[in-house]
A = this chain, B = another copy of it.
Amino acid sequence: MSIHSNRRTRSILDNPRAERVRRVRALLRRSVRQKEGRFLAEGPQAVREAVAWCPQSIIDVYVDPHGRERHKDIVDAALAAGVFVHDVTAEVLAVMADTESPQGVLAVVEKVDVPLEKILEEGSDRPRMLVMLAAVRDPGNAGTVLRGADAMGADAVLVGSSSVDLYNPKVVRSTVGSLFHLPVVTGVDVQSTLMRLREEAGVVAYAADGEGDTPITEADLTRSHVWVMGNEAWGLTEEMSAACDQVVSIPLHRAESLNLAMAATICMFASSQARG
């Protein structure tokens, strides 16, 4: 590895072809993320939240000179939490990252998802609100729903096995740190999971669908429930809808005029209102 140092400056990794750089960059591939159980958090928002909420999951933080200066709060918090902070050149950071400009900071983090059992067993003193991404394929949508779930006080997000990989850098970026706040379960089988939620935890399933026959104002959102969000293009399959207790729609002035993230935001807001 080409790390040079002198007495006056910190050592800085400046070789974009170094083995370490190559290994970080490899995490852009899903297969590598799966094998290593690690992923990339890019940019100050994501890294700040990772340091604040999951410092024990962080393997390394990388900063370029601009990032070290601009995001001193992150560097200080990371060091205080015992996280390794490595200096790299802007060129090296750009090679490591998926984004053209990760704004000077990036972290390699161990996967943060929890087993389904944890959600099922969790004692709850009040009704719960969960969100399931049954077949959400667009990284930006998945991340935005996660962000909204965090904002609206959801208790957990479950990601179906045919949805986009939650650790895709674009998803991680769109969550702007929410991934590190709220419990997530990945790779779930939609139908059997809905059944287990109902039987083992008393959680009813509401499919969000423009064609649903229950208007959202009539759905009982005061009891424990999970919002099931389908695919951007084709919504929920018949099997998925059938696995839900009710198919709920948002009354619209014009049909098909809400995208998935907006529909999910409204569903979760309605739940958050009902839960007080």
Contacts and interface: CB of A to CB of B under 8 A. Distances in A.
A151 B254 contact: yes
Contacts of A147: 257-259, 262
Nearest to A154: B253
23 contacts: A144-B259, A147-B257, A147-B262, A148-B257, A148-B258, A150-B253, A150-B254, A151-B252, A151-B253, A151-B254, A151-B258, A151-B262, A152-B252, A153-B253, A176-B257, A181-B254, A217-B273, A251-B272, A253-B272, A262-B262, A262-B265, A265-B265, A269-B269
A178 interface: yes
Kindly state the interface size class of chain A when it binds its partner. Answer: 20 to 34
Give this chain's copy count.
Answer: 2
Interface string A250-276: 111110011101100110010011000
A223 to B, nearest CB: 19
Interface in A128-174: 144, 147-148, 150-153
4 closest A-B pairs by beta carbon, nearest first, are A153-B253, A151-B257, A262-B265, A151-B258
Interface of A: 144, 147-148, 150-153, 176, 178, 181, 217, 250-254, 257-259, 261-262, 265-266, 269, 272-273
A150 B256 CA distance: 10
Residue of A251, A254, A272 with most partner-chain B CB within 10 A: A254
B148 A262 contact: yes
Nearest to A258: B151
B257 A150 contact: yes
A115 to B, nearest CB: 23
Given A148-B258, A151-B254, A261-B262, 14 more contacts: A144-B259, A144-B262, A147-B258, A150-B257, A151-B253, A152-B253, A176-B257, A181-B254, A217-B273, A253-B272, A258-B265, A265-B265, A266-B266, A269-B269
- Please indicate which of the listed interface residues A178, A258, A259, A262 has the most CB atoms of chain B within 10 Å of its own CB: A262
A265 B230 CA distance: 19
A142 to B, nearest CB: 14
Contacts of A266: 265-266, 269
A171 to B, nearest CB: 15
B253 A178 contact: no
B217 A178 contact: no
A145 B217 CA distance: 22
Contacts of A250: 269
